[in-house]
Amino acid sequence: MCRLESVLVTSYLHVFLAFTFLQISGSGDHYEKLISHPLTLALIRHKWNITRLFYFLFLTFYMTFVVMVTAYMVVAEAPYEL
């Protein structure tokens, strides 16, 4: 792991811990300041660039699955009499 990667991982961990602490403590002003910090924005943008393809792939798969199951439930006949 190179120096830049270790700094990013360490910084990301610190930001995550700070968010977790602020969510527990409930102080919203500091939370907004942390989110709008340039390092936080860069880490979120970096993470989104990495996971964007998987997110949309799984979303498409899930929506297709829901449509197919719903269509099956509408078309299939019940195996029992009411």
Q: Can you give the residue ranges of every domain in the chain?
A: 3-75
What was the pLDDT predicted at 81? 80
Average pLDDT over residues 45-64: 90
**Six-digit token pair at 50?**
């990495």
Considering only 22-31, 41-50, 70-79, which range has the smallest mean pLDDT?
A: 22-31
Instruction: Tell me the per-residue pLDDT of 35-53, one tens digit each, with 9 for 90 and over.
Output: 777 888 888 888 888 888 8
- Where residue 57 falls among pLDDT bands split at 50, 70, 90? very high
Q: What is the DSSP string of the chain?
A: --HHHHHHHHHHHHHHHHHHHHHHHT-HHHHHHHHTSHHHHHHHHHHHHHHHHHHHHHHHHHHHHHHHHHHHHHHSPPSS--
Q: Return the closest-CA partner of residue 44 out of 72, 73, 19, 76.
A: 19
**Six-digit token pair at 26?**
């409930």
Q: What is the pTM of this model?
A: 0.50
